[in-house]
Chains A and B, each alone.
Chain A
Amino acid sequence: MTEGVLSEAGSSVTPDSVQRHRLPHRRPGAGFGVAAVGLAIAVAFPFVISNPAITSIGIFTLLFVCAASAWNMFSGLSGYIALGNTVFFGVGAYAIAIGAEHIHLRADDSVFLLVPVAGLVAGAFALPFGWLALRTRRHTFVVITIAFFFIFQLLAYNLGGLTKGAAGMTLPVPQWDPVTYNIHFYFAALIVAVATVLGAWLIHISRFGLELRTIKDDEDRARGLGVLTERVKMQAFVISGIFTGLAGGVYAYFVGSIYPPDVFVANFDVTIAIMTFLGGLGTISGPVLGALLLEPLQQYFTLRFSANGVYLIAYGVLFLVIIRFLPAGIVPTVTKGIRAYLRGRTERGMTVLPAAAPDQPDPLPTSRP
């Protein structure tokens, strides 16, 4: 694709889209190793650190890992920047709240069983939402996702019969030992986060993920090549919605009481977007990294700078700094740096790179100049 060659200044003759396709075969060991270590740390974390304030931050961080990864699944891969994912978060939260209210469960771990339900409900909402929104492109799409956020927030306020309006809803409060209280939620959040990242990885290495990426590059051309863009977009959108809904469900149970502005938040989407951009749009570890870095920071800001103004300024400046200096995100920049370094060493005869997998027939006939 000539566009790929022209736009990727600094890359070699091979368009990056083809390079990316080869990536899983380069160094599978490194990625998995890091993930395994990370998971081990995450599991051990709440047992090592018992301060509930810190484990709370951990829980929120994990939920954002989930939300950012889910967002990246659709927006990162397809290029359709959706800023309405808070809708799914909120729907998930309200779903679990309404569910817990009507199904009188004991206030303990059994409520967590409603979390997948919350996710599915959110996914169900993604169907009409996606059907409407995915008919548009680019800017219109973004605006309509924003519009949906406002609609849902207003609906949460106005459908008092269902959502109790501005009074909010409360969930059953479990009577667990205060010392280990957070641990239940922590692991719920961890499971949700791991599931989401796993889903992101599966999509990434699959043909489905490839189709999504082609939509990002040139949608009409992808259609011409046989990609069922409508279906692919919709599927990714719904999947993204389901995972976000899961996060919403866990959040609602953890926080205990939810109000419309709590779960339908304007900042939510921008936050997960900036996390993903920071880490690397379209990568698997990008949103994870972004969430791990930014969420504790966000919590710190809210705690420290309780005077609203300073918090906002700091946040905004942070955004701008990230966009200015790391527009591609940390992961791609670092990966490129490592690759360039290794390439340099190879050319000087110092390192031998592992042989790349024998060239597979490219599913996308790219025109190589």
Chain B
Amino acid sequence: MRAVIDGVLTGAVYALMGAGLTLVFGVMNIINIAQGILVVLAAYMTYVLNRYLHIDLFVGLVFTIPMMFLVGVAIERLFIRRLQSQGNRTGLSILVTYAVAIILEGLLTIVFSADYLHLHAWYVDRSIPILGFYLPYIYLMGFGLAVAMLAVLYVILYRTRLGMGIRASVQSRLGAELVGIDINRTSTLAFGIGTAVTAAGGMIFGATSVFNPNSGYDLISILLVIIVLGGLGSIGGALIAGVVMLVIEDVTAVLWSPIWSSTMFFAVLVVVLIAHPTGLFGKPEARAQ
């Protein structure tokens, strides 16, 4: 039972990051492999703010969210833009974002070395008894943060013009362009939003586990599974998939063995894809490769 709760709480955070990833896919049709390392980058940023400027982890979000947003915008404009004119966007986009990811990993390794770090605060190591379980504060706060940010995301997507533009682009890129939406700007902003959520994810991740520049790989693998399971392009799908997958993983770890929980993770993906090749809520896939 505890495992289920843990799964839900942590799942929400992963779902948030996955939502960002799937949003970018929906708008731009690219998979941002760098999302994993961006989370790690955010964790390092929070670390620096915390350690050297003594800014609390949550307060630090005020800085990290805009910073990550700008990082995303920069990445999009520098690297992704060039892809627009090329054919074979699938392969190229993955390779380009992978290249960006390893560059970032290299930079982080140089600046911070490969030592493991962990974010600390009074609420990180303490728990609060609720309903007979001892739940770490940080899990609850992380969950709250994820929910809050998802709410903000919802507001942006459904209550603003930008959001409308984004949703239109997801439905039909060409159509959106034809009705006058500035695709380039929308794409850039969508990408920025997609990376801004990694700020929150990174902070929680850094507080709940040890990390070093190498942690990006595990993260991106989890995120990829989540967004594919939920259906590429579907934010709701990513949310559900995120929570479900984390719950399954935690439950497996408890019931069976922690060794197999990671394998189970991927096995579930495979099973779902057999039954439903486009994920739970995915768009029907395009015809040409």
Q: Is the interface of A mostly helix, strand, loop or mixed?
A: helix
Q: Of residues 119 to 174 in A, which have CB atoms within 8 Å of B's CB atoms?
A: 132, 135-140, 142-144, 146-148, 150-151, 154-155, 157-158
- A143-B224, A151-B270 as given contacts; A136 in contact with B288, CB under 8 Å: no
The chain A residue sitting closest to B221, CB to CB, is A150
User: Whole-angstrom distance from the CB of B40 to the nearest CB of chain A?
Assistant: 13
How many residues of B are counted as interface, with CB atoms below 8 angstroms from the partner's CB atoms? 53
The chain B residue sitting closest to A78, CB to CB, is B289
User: Whole-angstrom distance from the CB of A126 to the nearest CB of chain B?
Assistant: 15
Cα A324 to Cα B286 in complex, Å, equals 25
Cross-chain contact A140 with B228 (CB below 8 angstroms) = yes
Of B91, B213, B266, the most chain A CB neighbours within 10 A belong to B91
Cross-chain contact A140 with B279 (CB below 8 angstroms) = yes
Q: Which residues does chain B contribute within 8 Å of A330, judged by CB atoms?
A: none
- A132-B274, A139-B232, A308-B114 as given contacts; A273 in contact with B95, CB under 8 Å: yes
Cross-chain contact A151 with B99 (CB below 8 angstroms) = no
User: Whole-angstrom distance from the CB of B182 to the nearest CB of chain A?
Assistant: 24
Interface string of B253-289 (1 = CB under 8 A from A): 0000001101100110110011001110010011111
Residue in B95, B259, B287 whose beta carbon sits within 8 Å of that of A219 in the complex? B287
Of A40-48, A89-97, A201-209, A314-322, the segment with at least 4 beta carbons within 8 Å of chain B is A314-322
Cα A327 to Cα B85 in complex, Å, equals 11
Verify if A13 is at the interface (C-beta below 8 Å from B). no
Verify if B130 is at the interface (C-beta below 8 Å from A). no
Cross-chain contact A219 with B288 (CB below 8 angstroms) = yes
Q: Which residues does chain A contribute within 8 Å of B88, judged by CB atoms?
A: 79, 281
Q: Of residues 209 to 253 in B, which have CB atoms within 8 Å of A's CB atoms?
A: 213, 217, 221, 224-225, 227-228, 232
The chain B residue sitting closest to A221, CB to CB, is B287
Verify if B158 is at the interface (C-beta below 8 Å from A). no
Cross-chain contact B109 with A215 (CB below 8 angstroms) = no
Q: Of residues 244 to 289 in A, which have CB atoms within 8 Å of B's CB atoms?
A: 266, 270, 273-274, 277, 281
Q: How large is the interface on A (under 10, 10 to 19, 20 to 34, 35 or more residues)?
A: 35 or more
The chain A residue sitting closest to B103, CB to CB, is A316
Q: Which residues does chain B contribute within 8 Å of A316, judged by CB atoms?
A: 99-103, 106
Verify if A7 is at the interface (C-beta below 8 Å from B). yes
Cα A345 to Cα B102 in complex, Å, equals 45
Cross-chain contact B105 with A144 (CB below 8 angstroms) = no
Residue in B90, B217, B262, B287 whose beta carbon sits within 8 Å of that of A220 in the complex? B287
Q: Which residues does chain A contribute within 8 Å of B31, judged by CB atoms?
A: 139, 142-143
User: Whole-angstrom distance from the CB of B278 to the nearest CB of chain A?
Assistant: 6
Given A150-B262, A150-B266, A319-B96, 11 extra CB contacts under 8 A:
A83-B94, A137-B289, A138-B90, A140-B228, A144-B228, A144-B269, A147-B269, A154-B262, A313-B107, A315-B106, A327-B86
Residues of B within 8 A of A (CB): 25, 31, 79, 82, 86-88, 90-92, 94-96, 98-103, 105-110, 114, 213, 217, 221, 224-225, 227-228, 232, 259-260, 262-263, 266-267, 269-270, 273-274, 277-279, 282, 285-289
Closest 6 A/B residue pairs (Cβ): A79-B289, A312-B106, A309-B109, A316-B103, A313-B106, A319-B99
